[in-house]
Amino acid sequence: MKKIYFITSNKGKLVEAQKKFSEIGIEVVQNNIGYPEIQADSLEEVAFFGVEHVLKNFKSPFILEDAGLFIDTLKGFPGVYSAYVFHTVGCDGVLKLMNDTKVKDRIAVFRSVFAYGKSDLKPHLFIGECKGVISIVKRGNNGFGYDPIFIPQNSDKTFAEMNISEKNSYSHRGKSLEKLIDFFKKI
């Protein structure tokens, strides 16, 4: 079995990647060496910077991922700051922000950018997107992050009410992972 390192501290992301990669016989091993997440306008910039930083200190092939929740009526907030916002105010804070502003338009999109880094290749980026809406209340106990408040298009469940396979069939991360896996199948 082949092996790829996933530079992440997020166990939820790791489990989702392990499930998808196991289908093609690649073992995903967590490495929590970390990298600075720059303040930028796009997830692509954050991921590219992360790859460049990790390549300076890590010689094995690896992947990393940056994701964000972009809420239309909040002009894309929290966007590239999703992790920070989640760790400071969480799902409850986002729901309160939307309820306090009497928001009727709850359209949102989750975006994911996976980056593949290897010392002899330029970084490759793989982008996935999932449109949906923000729920009125938190629902479900599965997943992580904003999963309890995000309902993907063509579903009545939040990500937190889905098992990993069901979530991957909808999710932004599942879509970017599929593109990454297609890349691995070709190399």
- Please say whether the dihedral angle defined by the alpha carbons of residues 53, 90, 29 and 121, taken in this order, is positive or negative: negative
Q: Which of 66, 72, 105, 182 is catalytic?
A: 66
Active site residue 66: yes
Tokens read off for 139 = 């629902």
Tokens read off for 2 = 């082949």
Which CA distances in Å does 28 have to 14, 23, 24, 47, 86?
8, 11, 11, 18, 26
Tokens read off for 175 = 């879509």
Long-range contacts, 122-126 (Cβ 8 Å, 24+): 123/47, 123/48, 123/51, 123/52, 124/183, 125/44, 125/47, 125/48, 126/176, 126/177, 126/179, 126/180, 126/183
Residues with active-site annotation: 66
